[in-house]
Amino acid sequence: MKFRVYRYNPETDQNPYMQGFVVEASRGMMLRDALLAIQDQDESFAFRHSCGEGVCGSDGVNVNGVNKLACVTPVAELRETVVVRPLPGRPVIRDLVVDMSQFFTQYKRVEPWLKHRDPLPEQEITQTPEARDKLDGLYECNLCGCCSTACPSFWWNPEKFLGPQALLTACRFLEDSRDQAAEERLDALAGPYKLFRCHSIMNCVEVCPKGLNPTKAIGQIRARMLKGSL
Query: Residue 193 CB, nearest distance to ligand SF4 (Å)?
Result: 12
Residue 23 or 171: the one with the smaller Cβ distance to ligand SF4 is: 171
Q: Is 106 in the site for ligand SF4 (CB under 6 A)?
A: no
Closest CA to 166 of 110, 99, 218: 110
In the chain, what is the straight-line distance between the N-terminal and C-terminal CA atoms, in Å?
58
Question: Based on CB atoms, which residue is closest to ligand SF4, 62 or 142?
Answer: 142
C-alpha to C-alpha distance for 131 and 58, rounded to whole angstroms: 31
Candidate list 49, 208, 220, 221; residue touching ligand SF4; CB under 6 A: 208
Which residues here bind ligand FES, judged by CB under 6 A? Answer: 49-52, 54-59, 69, 71
Site membership for ligand SF4, residue 164 (CB under 6 A): yes
Contact indicator for 69, 59 with CB cutoff of 8 Å: yes
| Segment holding 63, helix H or strand E | strand 60-63
The listed partner (ligand FES, ligand SF4, none) that binds 143, CB under 5 to 8 Å by sort, is ligand SF4
Of residues 31, 82, 144, 186, which one binds ligand SF4 by CB under 6 A?
Answer: 144
* Minimum distance of ligand SF4 from residue 218's CB (angstroms): 6
For the chain, the C-alpha Rg in angstroms (whole number) is: 20
- 102 lies in the site for ligand SF4, by CB under 6 A: no
Give the distance between the most distant pair of CA atoms in the chain: 62
Residue closer to ligand SF4, measured from CB, 25 or 56: 56
Partners of 7 in the β-ladder: 17
Could you say whether residue 2 binds ligand SF4 (CB under 6 A)? no
Alpha-carbon distance of 169 to 140, in angstroms, equals: 10
Instruction: Note whether 47 and 6 are within 8 A (CB).
Output: no
Binding residues for ligand SF4, rule: CB under 6 A, are: 57, 141-147, 151, 153, 164-165, 168, 198-204, 207-210, 212, 214-215
